[in-house]
């Protein structure tokens, strides 16, 4: 039996981040990974010869720069390259494009509506206000409002101050923003369908909610609060694919002396007398450690690798009630060349960014109605990118790789498991939608990997294939994430911690949960806090 | 010469009457002006076919605050209940109904586990409703510019939360934001029970069971129990009788109520509201104007956007106020025959909503301004308890129908007959033969409700009761604690905290706030 | 390349062909996405063309909105802080407009073209706010920014040059007056307005006649030493004469992300533009409150010792920071070193002595100067010829 100071279950980006800080602090740490490769959903794989697929997460913005710098990820090979562009194709053959340059963006919007183009300036300001409010809390544990401990009271007071600093109406705006639907929010600013649809899609990405479900404005914020080199709201590619993030984290961890053990499928966390003792693998191997950190989602953590008899009853119930819903699927496609899109010049910079085909909030909402009826969206919302226009490393020269994130795909089809026929139907609905706007698309397809929630769950180990390890609804954010009373990374058993996206501040390849959890662990061990806080006044 | 009043109150709805009562009791001279022919606003009874009358807007009484009831001495002024402690019955086409009253649930298909689970659920949520009731009975505190009173109510709220105990406090903070659908799935197996409780959560709102913050809608309804109502009650003579009783109580305080007096505008004297002008051209001036009309009608319509600053006008124009409930009134030549229900049981609250997904699909339509293919119905046959509402031996059926948009594509006239037909067919699934009993029918769409009761969008609550439009955000940021954002003008209707339903608290809280501020000498 | 993407490319003003030829330095900037010259030949020479002869500035990128309809005056009176009823037909009024919090969103000019017919000329795009403000008013709002081309002709010979161009009777036009002339089948509108503090006019013409106007103007203006000038020379002139620049001296209120970064008209020294006796206008309630409770800041024009412009300087009092400079320049005509500053109350009263912490560089060597400065009561450039009607010949 091998002995470590700390074991981290799962080599996702948060597990690796967490382990890196524990190792940096001098602990003997091992990360156990079920798959033969690391990364979890932050992964790139060559599933077609010559093509690298970022087959789960596919773009990078939320990764906290404080952590990337502190863990020396650039030195370990990570390069995040921003991309511009983005376009929503309309059914009438026109499109709405997204430009980097502010004035050009204005003119493109004004082409559809001058009023919207002007309103967008106010919208950007208002969203930025909300973003600035939440960003300082990304690298902090959430305060517990039901606690009377001095640290919680102090944190709560600080939290309250940043809100009351907004003034009565400003605070009301914030509360409204956080409780409102993205559809209602956008309706307050804009009149043009395609502009609302272009902006609104991010309010539902990865969630089992529609654009008119209250709470989705916050999801929009969640996608907006990242930055690339200080440009808040912009997104980039990890050069070489998202696996490069995991690879750099792994190198950082190894440089601090940590171990990564692949093909190590954890059967259970061993608990004795209310204390963690280590973990047992499915193959019978055992590792002993006084600290075990789970990078798995809350359901897998508490209902799978932990024994109900080791847990308080309320935790089991809370884990059962935790909302983690499959809502999305993905197509990864190898292309023989760059496809042509109707109405768009082949050299257009718009193609460098996220491409969509849903030109109204109503279509987005109807796509959600299909999910509620337990079937994949017949007119899906896709977030499609061709990263090989920016990243020369992911496909042979002149060839391209396309990543298509698809919303909605339910965890079950009419109450049953996904069948291969369902998967084919899902794939067809997506390919048809793209082909309707790209005459040569179908002929360029060399290989297509289609992932329904079933595949995402099977490979990345995310329950129901939920990309955030739990819905980003308000009942599961901040001090409620994953559950009230357990939102500060400590589990219900001594020595047991959580560090996945199922904890604050949630998913999106931020690495913040992993870092925040490390801070709490080090505090419990009475070791110096080496985890950085956020940069001021971003 | 025009008469001088301390307060002009626009609208003789129940909240307006309650507000007038408290103001008059404190010695203020109040004039109420209302365009209708009867007092009560949406607490109304009307004759929709010769000899048949019905509560045409609100149909059940289940939230009227006991203090209001006592203070206005409504019983003395003629209020009589035809029935109380009325259970809710979720109809099953085969007659295997589910009945819920208070903490009890009965039915052929309900398991012992669900019965116990419901009892526990009812008790737990009852505690939350109690806390909510406390919040409802006071003005909403401001959070930033708070004064002593606000801080006191925040402390009370905080203490109330703490008093729940840590687990319940955490539970409340979690569930108050989520949807009823998930909460039902967490707690119960019975599709009928889940459907019944989710229907209560979306009554009168533009939400489906899957819409986050419908748990708040459920707790909102449960406040009625804290106010002493087991199930629902039925007012003798229809809800209009409540309006009449309130009017009598108010007149007894010396308040002047003028009916048939349509207010065209609230007039500004400088930058202060100082009077009103009627459609007849008549002017009235007063120290203070209080409006029982919804915020959009009051501020966009009667005051006018041009009399306020742009930011405020923008906020008002963005109040979400999309009514989604219609009313169906049927005159029947006999008691309908609902499968599995006997005569007296027909006097209960009968619900058509087989399961949560059914309600959700019914809601889907209205999101796109379409009419539900298979709508949800909340049915009352008032003549079971109150035979005077129809000719002898005849009956009235009234139903609140969800979901119906304010304006479907092509306009309501293109859909009115078809929708009525759809509803009759739906009813016939549960009450075979009812179609043949129909003597007359009336469908009031949200657009009709707007026209008849002046409610913008035909919305019962004078503005969606979603979390972004409650408490100090109701009716809109910048206007709270019953102030309207216009000096000299207060709001006392459902558009203000705590919201709609025949509760009377908005009116009472508004009066107290006006008096507390010394807004009128 | 299709038409759609053309529309999103960098824009050119209707004068571009002429401007490009004249712009010998090829020194371009972006003004709201329009290609505009920072300087044509030499900033110094361009500046002196304004002060000594006549300078011409292409101000076509300004946002121009037509406000017309039965409620136009009432609408504008609710929108802006000034009493618009006092701006008669044929007159122009400078004003600011605020949000509900009494914070300045922009400054600009209102042209009273005819009965219930106005044009607003603004720095920031305002279509959204103008439309929201139109709730409850019977007005039509048209964005004329692209349709109307505009030139400023500024300087002592400007009137003479324009008279030579055939604008008969222009000498009778008073400051802030408005008149028009036929021009090749279109109407040329001329206002006696400008951003230089000197005698000057602004010419407004349909975009398709822009080049013809430029040609006629420069032809007629030749003997009057007319010269185009770019944004750098304008910057000098406007600081010298005390004009605020939106986005530089204040942040348009609705684009402020951080609270407390916007300013009220009182805090910008523009109290004279606020007609608190009007019943309802945007910002009124907040401004009444501010008037009663006091402002946070004061706008000050500082006369700074020495000749080093106090760009971005902190303003100190007794060693403590009490303000910051928003604009600064050595003013060549007035021979003054002027800075605009936002000073925290109660500091910054006229006559008060303060210190500017100035950094300047000579041959890569940086020097810090603690330059004494004085709050002065008026701009340093304000010649009588600016107001004389009729103006002198030169």
User: By three-state DSSP, how is residue A408 classified?
Assistant: coil
At A352, the pLDDT band (50, 70, 90 cuts) reads very high
Q: CB-CB: which of A169, A215, A323 is closest to B182?
A: A323
Please check whether residue B473 is in contact with residue A175, taking contact to mean a CB–CB distance below 8 angstroms: yes
Please check whether residue B384 is in contact with residue B346, taking contact to mean a CB–CB distance below 8 angstroms: yes
Q: What is the mean pLDDT of residues B87-96?
A: 97
Please enumerate in sequence order all residues whose Cβ is within 8 A of that of A95, keeping only pairs 6 or more positions apart, or say none.
Answer: A87, A88, A89, A194, A343, A344, A350, C4
Q: CB-CB: which of A172, A209, A372 is closest to B477?
A: A172
At C3, the pLDDT band (50, 70, 90 cuts) reads very low
Report phi then psi at C65, rounded to 5. Answer: -125, 130
Q: CB-CB: which of A99, A115, A122 is closest to C8?
A: A99
Report the interhelical angle of A512-524 vs A13-24 (nearest 10°).
30
Chain B hits for C72, CB-CB cut-off 8 Å, are none
What is the distance between the alpha carbons of residues B317 and B309, in angstroms, rounded to a whole number? 12
What is the distance between the alpha carbons of residues C218 and C224, in angstroms, rounded to a whole number? 9
Residues 272-331, chain B: which have Cβ within 8 Å of A? 318, 320
The pTM for the full model equals 0.95
CB contact under 8 A, C136 and B317: no
Q: What is the mean pLDDT of residues A352-375?
A: 97
At B166, the pLDDT band (50, 70, 90 cuts) reads confident
When the pLDDT of each residue in chain B is averaged and rounded to a whole number, the result is: 95
Q: CB-CB: which of A168, A212, A474 is closest to B367?
A: A212
The full length of chain A comes to 538
What is the distance between the alpha carbons of residues C367 and A87, in angstroms, rounded to a whole number? 50
Structure tokens at B185: 């799935």
DSSP state of B300: I
CB contact under 8 A, B477 and A188: no
CB contact under 8 A, B305 and C282: no
CB contact under 8 A, B175 and A168: no
Structure tokens at C251: 């942040």
Give yes or no for residue B521 having a pLDDT over 80. no
Annotate A153-173 with b (16+ C-beta within 10 A) or e (fewer).
eebbeebeeebeebbbbbbbb
Q: Are strands C314-317 and C200-206 parallel, antiparallel or unpaired?
A: unpaired
CB contact under 8 A, A475 and B174: yes
CB contact under 8 A, B143 and A168: yes
pLDDT in tens, C196-219: 999 999 999 999 999 999 999 999
CB contact under 8 A, A108 and C9: no
Return the minimum-mean-pLDDT range out of A168-177, A327-336, C80-89.
A168-177
How far from C120 is each of A113, A487, B388, C13, C210, CA to CA, in Å? 20, 54, 66, 19, 20
Q: What is the mean pLDDT of residues C376-393?
A: 94
DSSP codes joined into one string, B68-103: HHHHTTTTTTT--EEEEEEPEEE--TTS--EEEETT
Chain A hits for B216, CB-CB cut-off 8 Å, are none
Q: Which of A460, A364, A360, A454 is nearest to A416 (CA)?
A: A454
How far from B116 is each of B72, B129, B188, B225, CA to CA, in Å? 39, 20, 10, 19
pLDDT in tens, A499-533: 999 999 999 899 999 999 999 999 999 999 999 99
What is the distance between the alpha carbons of residues A295 and A281, in angstroms, rounded to a whole number? 16
Residue labelled with tokens 């080090």 = A522
Q: What is the mean pLDDT of residues A289-294?
A: 98
At B3, the pLDDT band (50, 70, 90 cuts) reads low
Looking at residue C5, its pLDDT comes to 56
Please check whether residue B35 is in contact with residue B517, taking contact to mean a CB–CB distance below 8 angstroms: no
Strand ranges inside A355-470, DSSP E? 355-356, 381-385, 400-407, 445-451
Looking at residue A1, its pLDDT comes to 79
Chain A hits for C9, CB-CB cut-off 8 Å, are 104
DSSP state of C94: E
How much of chain B exceeds pLDDT 70, in percent? 99
Please check whether residue C268 is in contact with residue C299, taking contact to mean a CB–CB distance below 8 angstroms: yes
Dihedral angle, C-alpha A26, A27, A28, A34, nearest 10 °: -120
Interface mutation target, options C100, C101, C130, C282, chain B, most CBs of B under 10 Å: C100
C259: distance to nearest CA of chain B, Å? 14
CB contact under 8 A, A213 and B145: no
Q: What is the mean pLDDT of residues A438-461?
A: 96
Structure tokens at A471: 């819905």
Query: What are the residue ranges of helices labelled H in chain C?
Result: 3-6, 16-22, 43-52, 72-79, 127-133, 158-164, 210-221, 231-240, 284-293
Structure tokens at B271: 């930058």
Report phi then psi at C142, rounded to 5. Answer: -125, 130
Ramachandran bin of B457, using left for φ above 0, alpha for ψ from -120 to 50, beta for the remaining angles: left
Question: Is the N-terminal amide bond of B498 cis, ω within 30° of 0?
Answer: yes
Contact partners for chain C, using 3 or more CB pairs closer than 8 A, are: A, B
**Long-range contacts for B448-451 (Cβ within 8 Å, ≥24 apart)?**
B448/B412, B449/B57, B449/B323, B449/B326, B449/B327, B450/B323, B450/B406
Give yes or no for residue A23 having a pLDDT over 90. yes
Please check whether residue C100 is in contact with residue C301, taking contact to mean a CB–CB distance below 8 angstroms: no
Chain B hits for A171, CB-CB cut-off 8 Å, are 143-144
How much of chain B exceeds pLDDT 90, in percent? 87
For residue B211, the tally of other CB atoms under 10 A from its CB is: 27
DSSP codes joined into one string, C276-324: TTSSS-TTHHHHHHHHHH--SEEEEEEEESSSS--TT-EEEETTEEEEE
This model of the complex carries an ipTM of 0.94
Please check whether residue C126 is in contact with residue C120, taking contact to mean a CB–CB distance below 8 angstroms: yes
Query: C63: nearest CA in chain A?
Result: A118
Query: C100: nearest CA in chain B?
Result: B311
Report phi then psi at C217, rounded to 5. Answer: -65, -50
Q: CB-CB: which of A104, A115, A132 is closest to C128?
A: A115
Cβ–Cβ pairs < 8 A, chains A and C: 62
Cβ–Cβ pairs < 8 A, chains B and C: 54
B464 burial (CB, 10 Å; 0-12 / 13-18 / 19+) is: buried
Looking at residue C1, its pLDDT comes to 35
How far from A416 is each of A413, B98, C347, CA to CA, in Å? 5, 28, 74
Q: What is the mean pLDDT of residues C153-177?
A: 97
Please check whether residue A301 is in contact with residue A294, taking contact to mean a CB–CB distance below 8 angstroms: yes
What is the distance between the alpha carbons of residues B348 and B339, in angstroms, rounded to a whole number? 14
At C6, the pLDDT band (50, 70, 90 cuts) reads low
Q: Are strands B45-49 and B52-55 parallel, antiparallel or unpaired?
A: antiparallel
For residue B255, the tally of other CB atoms under 10 A from its CB is: 24
CB contact under 8 A, A214 and B212: yes
Chain C hits for B299, CB-CB cut-off 8 Å, are none
B313: distance to nearest CA of chain C, Å? 7
Looking at residue A535, its pLDDT comes to 85
CB contact under 8 A, A121 and C255: yes
At B496, the pLDDT band (50, 70, 90 cuts) reads very high
Q: Which of A498, A482, A533, A479 is nearest to A147 (CA)?
A: A479
Vertex B205 angle, CA B204 and B209, to 5°: 110
Please enumerate in sequence order all residues whose Cβ is within 8 A of that of C6, keeping only pairs 6 or more positions apart, or say none.
Answer: none
Vertex A95 angle, CA A91 and A100, to 5°: 155
What is the distance between the alpha carbons of residues B301 and B263, in angstroms, rounded to a whole number? 10
Please check whether residue B476 is in contact with residue B283, taking contact to mean a CB–CB distance below 8 angstroms: no
Looking at residue A123, its pLDDT comes to 95
Q: What is the mean pLDDT of residues C11-21?
A: 96
Return the minimum-mean-pLDDT range out of B159-168, B383-392, C301-310.
B159-168
User: By three-state DSSP, how is residue B195 classified?
Assistant: helix
Q: What is the mean pLDDT of residues C257-272?
A: 95
pLDDT in tens, A217-270: 999 988 888 877 777 778 899 999 999 999 999 999 999 999 999 999 999 999
A467: distance to nearest CA of chain B, Å? 20
Give me the sheet containing C117-122, strands edge to edge: C92-98, C104-114, C117-122, C63-68, C140-143
**For chain C, what is the total number of helices (H) and then of strands (E)?**
9, 19
DSSP state of B471: G
Annotate B337-349 with b (16+ C-beta within 10 A) or e (fewer).
bbebbeeeebbbb
When the pLDDT of each residue in chain C is averaged and rounded to a whole number, the result is: 96
Dihedral angle, C-alpha C200, C206, C211, C212, nearest 10 °: -90
DSSP state of A342: T
pLDDT in tens, B256-297: 999 999 999 999 998 899 999 999 999 999 999 999 999 999
Residues 357-396, chain B: which have Cβ within 8 Å of A? 357, 360-361, 364, 367-368
Give yes or no for residue B209 having a pLDDT over 50. yes
Q: CB-CB: which of B210, B468, B478 is closest to A179?
A: B468
Ramachandran bin of C301, using left for φ above 0, alpha for ψ from -120 to 50, beta for the remaining angles: beta
pLDDT in tens, A405-440: 999 999 999 999 999 999 999 999 999 999 999 999
């Amino acid at each position: 039996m091998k002995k470590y100071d700390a074991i981290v279950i799962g080599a996702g980006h948060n597990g690796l981040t967490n382990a890196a800080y524990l190792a940096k602090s001098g602990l003997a740490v091992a990360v156990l990974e079920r798959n033969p490769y690391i990364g979890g959903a932050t992964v790139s794989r060559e599933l077609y010869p010559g093509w690298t697929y970022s087959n789960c997460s596919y773009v990078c913005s939320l990764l906290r720069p404080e952590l990337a710098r502190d863990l020396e990820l650039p030195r370990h090979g990570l390069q995040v390259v921003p991309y511009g562009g983005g376009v929503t194709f309309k059914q009438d053959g026109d499109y709405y494009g997204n430009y980097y340059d502010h004035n050009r963006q204005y003119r493109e919007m004004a082409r559809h509506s001058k009023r919207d183009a002007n309103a967008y300036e106010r919208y950007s300001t208002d969203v930025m206000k909300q973003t600035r409010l939440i960003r300082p809390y990304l690298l902090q544990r959430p305060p517990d409002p039901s606690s009377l401990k001095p640290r919680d009271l102090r944190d709560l007071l600080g939290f309250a101050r940043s809100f009351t600093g907004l003034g009565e109406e400003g605070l009301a705006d914030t509360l409204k923003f956080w409780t409102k639907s993205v559809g209602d929010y956008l309706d307050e600013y804009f009149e043009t369908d395609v502009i609302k649809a272009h902006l609104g899609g991010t309010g539902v990405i990865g969630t089992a909610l529609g654009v008119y479900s209250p709470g989705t404005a916050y999801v929009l914020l969640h996608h907006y609060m990242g930055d690339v080199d200080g440009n808040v709201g912009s997104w980039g590619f990890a050069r070489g694919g998202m696996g490069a993030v995991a690879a750099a984290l792994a190198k950082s961890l190894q440089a601090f002396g940590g171990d990564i053990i692949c093909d190590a499928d954890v059967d259970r966390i061993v608990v004795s007398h209310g204390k963690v003792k280590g973990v047992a693998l499915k193959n019978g191997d055992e590792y002993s450690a006084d600290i075990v950190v789970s990078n798995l989602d809350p359901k897998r953590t508490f209902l799978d690798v932990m024994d109900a008899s080791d847990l308080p009853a309320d935790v089991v119930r809370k884990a059962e009630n935790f909302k983690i819903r499959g809502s999305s699927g993905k197509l990864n496609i190898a292309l023989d060349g760059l496809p042509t899109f109707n109405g768009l010049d082949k050299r257009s910079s718009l193609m460098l960014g996220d491409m969509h085909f849903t030109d109204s909030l109503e279509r987005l909402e109807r796509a959600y109605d299909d999910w509620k009826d337990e079937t994949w969206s017949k007119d899906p919302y896709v977030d499609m990118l061709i990263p090989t226009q920016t990243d020369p490393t992911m496909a042979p020269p002149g060839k391209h790789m396309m990543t298509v994130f698809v919303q909605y795909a339910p965890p079950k089809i009419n109450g049953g498991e996904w069948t291969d026929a369902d998967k084919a139907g899902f794939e067809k609905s997506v390919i048809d939608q793209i082909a309707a706007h790209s005459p040569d698309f179908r002929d360029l397809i060399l290989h297509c990997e289609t992932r329904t929630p079933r595949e995402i769950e099977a490979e990345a180990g995310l329950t129901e294939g939920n990309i955030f390890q739990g819905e980003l609804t308000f009942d599961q954010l901040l001090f409620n994430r994953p559950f009230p009373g357990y939102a500060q990374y400590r589990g219900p058993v001594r020595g047991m911690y959580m560090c996945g996206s199922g904890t604050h501040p949630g998913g999106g390849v931020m690495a913040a949960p992993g870092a925040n959890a490390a801070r709490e662990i080090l505090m419990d061990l009475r070791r110096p806090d080496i985890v950085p806080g956020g940069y001021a006044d971003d | 010469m025009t008469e001088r009043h301390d307060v002009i109150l626009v609208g003789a709805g129940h909240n307006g009457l309650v507000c007038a009562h408290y103001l008059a009791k404190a010695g203020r001279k109040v004039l109420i002006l209302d365009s209708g022919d009867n007092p009560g606003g949406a607490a109304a009874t009307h004759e929709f076919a010769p000899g048949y009358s019905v509560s045409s807007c609100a149909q059940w009484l289940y939230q009227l605050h006991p203090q209001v009831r006592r203070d206005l001495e409504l019983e003395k002024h003629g209020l009589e209940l035809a029935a109380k402690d009325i259970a809710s019955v979720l109809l099953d086409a085969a007659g295997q109904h589910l009945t819920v009253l208070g903490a009890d649930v009965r039915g052929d298909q309900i398991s012992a586990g669900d019965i116990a689970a419901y009892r526990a659920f009812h008790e737990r949520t009852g505690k939350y409703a109690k806390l909510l009731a406390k919040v409802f009975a006071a003005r909403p505190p401001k959070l930033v510019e708070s004064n002593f009173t606000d801080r006191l109510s925040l402390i009370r709220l905080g203490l109330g939360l703490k008093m729940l105990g840590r687990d319940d406090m955490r539970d409340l903070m979690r569930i108050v934001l989520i949807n009823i659908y998930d909460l039902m799935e967490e707690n119960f197996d019975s599709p009928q029970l889940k459907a019944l409780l989710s229907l209560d959560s979306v009554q009168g709102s533009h939400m489906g069971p899957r819409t986050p913050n419908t748990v708040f809608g459920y707790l909102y309804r449960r406040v009625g129990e804290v106010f002493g109502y087991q199930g629902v009650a039925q007012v003798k003579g229809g809800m209009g009788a409540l309006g009449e009783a309130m009017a009598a109580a108010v007149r007894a305080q010396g308040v002047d109520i003028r009916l048939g007096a349509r207010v065209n505008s609230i007039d500004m004297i400088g930058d202060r509201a100082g009077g009103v002008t009627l459609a007849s051209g008549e002017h009235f001036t007063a120290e203070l104007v209080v409006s029982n009309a919804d915020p959009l009608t009051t501020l966009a319509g009667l005051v006018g956007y041009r009399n306020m600053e742009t930011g405020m006008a923008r906020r008002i124009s963005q109040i979400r106020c999309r009514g989604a409930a219609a009313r169906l009134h049927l005159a029947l030549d006999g008691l309908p025959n609902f499968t599995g229900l006997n005569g007296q049981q027909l006097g209960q609250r009968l619900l058509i909503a087989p399961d949560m997904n059914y309600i959700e699909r019914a809601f889907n339509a209205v999101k796109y301004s379409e009419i539900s293919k298979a709508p949800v119905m909340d049915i009352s046959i008032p003549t079971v308890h109150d035979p005077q509402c129809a000719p002898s031996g005849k009956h009235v059926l009234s139903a609140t129908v969800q979901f119906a948009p304010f304006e479907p594509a092509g306009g309501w006239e293109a859909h009115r007959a078809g929708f009525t037909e759809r509803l009759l067919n739906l009813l016939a699934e549960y009450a075979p033969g009812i179609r043949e009993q129909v003597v007359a029918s009336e469908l009031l769409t949200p657009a009709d409700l707007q026209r008849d009761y002046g409610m913008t969008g035909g919305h019962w609550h004078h503005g969606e009761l979603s979390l972004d439009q409650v408490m100090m955000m109701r009716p809109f940021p910048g206007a709270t604690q019953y102030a309207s954002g216009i000096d000299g003008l207060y709001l006392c209707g459902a558009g203000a905290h705590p919201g709609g339903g025949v509760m009377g608290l908005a009116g009472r809280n508004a009066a107290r706030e006006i008096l507390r501020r010394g807004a009128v000498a | 390349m299709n038409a759609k993407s053309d529309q999103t490319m960098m824009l050119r003003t209707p004068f571009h062909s002429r401007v490009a030829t004249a712009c010998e330095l090829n020194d371009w900037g972006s003004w709201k996405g329009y290609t505009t010259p920072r300087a044509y030949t030499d900033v110094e020479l361009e500046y002196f063309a304004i002060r000594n002869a006549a300078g011409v500035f292409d101000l076509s990128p300004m946002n121009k909105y037509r406000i017309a309809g039965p409620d136009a005056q009432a609408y504008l009176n609710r929108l802006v802080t000034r009493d618009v009823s006092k701006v008669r037909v044929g007159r122009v009024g400078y004003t600011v407009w605020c949000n509900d919090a009494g914070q300045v969103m922009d400054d600009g000019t209102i042209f009273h073209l005819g009965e219930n017919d106005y044009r607003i000329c603004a720095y920031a795009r305002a279509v959204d706010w103008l439309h929201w403000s139109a709730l409850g008013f019977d007005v039509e709002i048209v964005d004329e920014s692209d349709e109307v081309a505009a030139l400023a002709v500024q300087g002592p010979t400007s009137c003479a040059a324009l008279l030579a161009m055939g604008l008969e009777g222009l000498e009778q036009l008073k400051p802030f007056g408005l008149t028009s002339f036929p021009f090749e089948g279109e109407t040329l509108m001329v206002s006696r307005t400008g951003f230089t503090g000197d005698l000057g006019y602004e010419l407004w013409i349909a975009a398709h006649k822009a080049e013809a106007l430029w040609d006629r103007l420069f032809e007629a203006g030749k003997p009057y030493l007319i010269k185009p000038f770019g944004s750098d020379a304008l910057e000098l002139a406007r600081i010298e004469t005390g004009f605020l620049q939106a986005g530089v001296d204040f942040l348009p209120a609705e684009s402020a992300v951080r609270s407390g970064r916007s300013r009220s008209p009182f805090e910008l020294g523009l109290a004279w533009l606020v007609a608190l006796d009007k019943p309802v206008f945007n910002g009124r309630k907040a401004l009444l409150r501010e008037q009663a409770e006091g402002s946070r800041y004061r706008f000050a024009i500082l006369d700074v010792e020495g000749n080093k412009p106090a760009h971005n300087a902190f303003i100190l009092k007794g060693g403590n920071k009490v303000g910051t400079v928003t604009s600064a320049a050595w003013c060549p005509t007035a021979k003054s070193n002027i800075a605009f500053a936002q000073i925290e109350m109660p500091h910054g009263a006229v006559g008060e002595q303060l210190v500017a912490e100035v950094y300047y560089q000579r041959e890569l060597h940086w020097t810090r100067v603690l330059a004494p400065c004085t709050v002065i009561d008026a701009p340093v450039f304000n010649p009588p010829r600016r107001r004389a009607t009729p103006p002198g010949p030169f």
